[in-house]
Chain A
Amino acid sequence: MKRLKENENVLVLGGFLGITALISALVLALVFTVTRGPIEKMQQKSIQESFKLLDLPAFDNAPDREAKSYISPEKFKVAIMPVRKEGVLKAFVVRTVSPDGYAGEVEVTAGFDLNCKILAVLVTRQQETPGLGSNVCERKFRKTIFNLFQPRPEGLPPNPILDQFHNLTVSANADWRVKRDGGSFDFVTGATITSRAIVAAVEQGGRTLHIHRGDFKEKVQK
């Protein structure tokens, strides 16, 4: 052992480093196999929780199982999920990934009714600057010392940036840009890039749904 410690042979040193890396790779592989199932389950659960917040009409299918992927006119990745009750189409959930966030991708999930009117908008994945860009993305009830011990209110927490899309349709006359670029949407000063990414994602999701909604047929069981 002592001789190993004093060794200066490049091959021995390289070999030792290689063995260390091998052991750590084995440990990582083991932990990866053990946690893969729970991680998937966790992601499934958070998807279902986001559906609950989207103001959808009552449904009984698993929308994410019937998802279809598309590429939007501006080349965003879009997944459209039909929401059904007893096989009858009730609404759509559209998940759009905008590549132009401040720190990588921003994933926006929006609920649309059958006329492509927006029901609610959520940001489901983002890595924006905490406290700045993330404030544009998060929906949270603000706690104060006065309502600290009261139960949380039910339903969709407010967010002034995300709420401005409600009840709009993409084909309506709104100009789908933030106000700084001459459009009609509010943005957060200091988080303009994040705001732009969200507006673009909602617009692209809506347009893609408008083009492809005919792909989803009623599935009435007889």
Chain B
Amino acid sequence: MKNAFKDMLKGIWKENPVLVLLLGTCPTLATTSSAANGLAMGLATTCVLCGSNLVISCIAGFVPKKIRIPVYIVVIATFVSVIDMLMKAYAPPAIYRALGIFIPLIVVNCIVLGRAEAFASKNSPLRSIFDGIGMGLGFSLALTLLGALREFISTGSVFEVKIITCWTTDFLLASAAPGAFIILGCILAAKNYFARRAAVKAGKLYVPQAGLDCRSCRICKLDDDE
């Protein structure tokens, strides 16, 4: 149980999918034009991630290796469609209107497939669920932060509440895609700066964590199945 809790916490900070793993950058940039959109996209992804992690860790034992990626994609796409229909039926119309066009994007979200391949297919269902929750929460937090910054810089409001009331003209760069790249870059630079400063202070060399760089990710080496 303690292990499971650790699985959850690492997704929120140490292995944060957006800020550390840099996975799922497309939805990160596309959906964070406001804080509310970012939060909602994050929560929807969390639901899909939990479900797909659970199912995949259950079936990973007997899925033939050669076709595991297509099978995982089918599972993920099914979950996304189910959540799309459920939201259409039961969520308040305002939320569905704001989110509706982003839901199908979750299918191609790299985090979901990445966690399926790197974690769920190798660990027990319970640990996989906790990993899904943690990764989803980390994703939601990062998206909300980026969304809030972009919304504030472009319109002077956060969660659609105007903080600076005399701000009447929108600063469109921040709410458009180039602004998303620039602000995400600034956040990443700040995070790396603080991590490095902490490492230097402790007298250590700053290297990315083991297991988090390209060397340990198998996802694009499809032909050299051992």
With a 10 A CB-CB cut-off, give which of A31, A130, A131, A144 has the most chain B CB atoms: A131
Please measure, in the bound complex, the distance between the C-alpha atom of A32 and the C-alpha atom of B89, giving whole angstroms.
10
> Which residues from B are CB-within-8-Å of A42?
88-90, 93
B20 CB-CB contact with A under 8 Å: no
B64 touches A143 (CB 8 A): no
Does A132 lie within 8 Å of B65, measured CB to CB? Answer: no
Supposing A35-B89, A42-B93 touch, asked if A28 and B64 sit within 8 A by C-beta, the answer is: no
Complex Cα–Cα for A146 and B165 (A):
9
B161 engages A131 (CB within 8 Å): no
Interface residues of A in 145-177 (CB under 8 A from B): 145-146, 148
- Is B57 an interface residue when CB atoms closer than 8 A count as contact? no
Within 8 Å by CB of A4, from B64, B85, B93, B100, lies B64
Q: Does A60 contact B (CB under 8 A)?
A: no
Say how far A126's CB is from chain B's closest CB, in angstroms. 9
* CB 8 Å contact bits of A8-43 with B (1 = contact, 0 = none): 100011001100110010011001100100110010
* Total A-B Cβ pairs within 8 A: 98
Given A20-B71, A42-B93, A12-B64 contact (CB < 8 Å): yes
Interface of chain A: mostly helix, strand, loop or mixed:
helix
A132, B176: Cβ atoms closer than 8 Å? yes
Give the distance to chain B from A103, nearest Cβ to Cβ, in Å.
Answer: 8
In the complex, are the beta carbons of B90 and A38 less than 8 A apart?
A: yes
The answer to whether the Cβ of B1 comes within 8 Å of any Cβ in the partner chain is: no
Determine chain B's interface SS by DSSP, over half rule.
Answer: helix
Q: Are A131 and B34 in touch, CB under 8 angstroms?
A: yes
- Asked whether A144 and B161 contact (CB < 8 A) given A35-B86, A35-B88, the answer is yes
- The interface size bin for chain A is 35 or more
Residues of B within 8 A of A8 (CB): 64, 66
* Those of B107-163 within 8 Å (CB) of chain A: 154, 157, 160-163
Partner among B67, B89, B165 whose Cβ is within 8 Å of the Cβ of A38:
B89
Q: Given A5-B63, A13-B67, A20-B74 in contact, is the A131-B175 Cβ separation under 8 Å? A: yes
Q: Is B37 an interface residue (CB 8 A)?
A: yes
Q: Cα distance A21–B74 when bound, in Å?
A: 7
**How many whole Å from B62's CB to the nearest CB in chain A?**
5
**Interface readout for B66-87 with A: 1 if CB under 8 Å, 0 if not?**
1100110011011001100110
Q: In the complex the two chains form, is A127's CB within 8 Å of B101's CB? A: yes
The complex places the Cα of A103 from the Cα of B61 at a distance, in Å, of: 42
Q: State the B residues within 8 Å of A (CB).
A: 31, 33-34, 37, 61-67, 70-71, 74-75, 77-78, 81-82, 85-86, 88-90, 93, 98, 100-101, 154, 157, 160-163, 165, 170, 172, 175-176
Residue numbers of A with Cβ under 8 A of B are 1, 4-8, 12-13, 16-17, 20-21, 24, 27-28, 31-32, 35, 38-39, 42, 45-46, 49, 103, 127, 129-132, 135, 140, 142-146, 148, 190
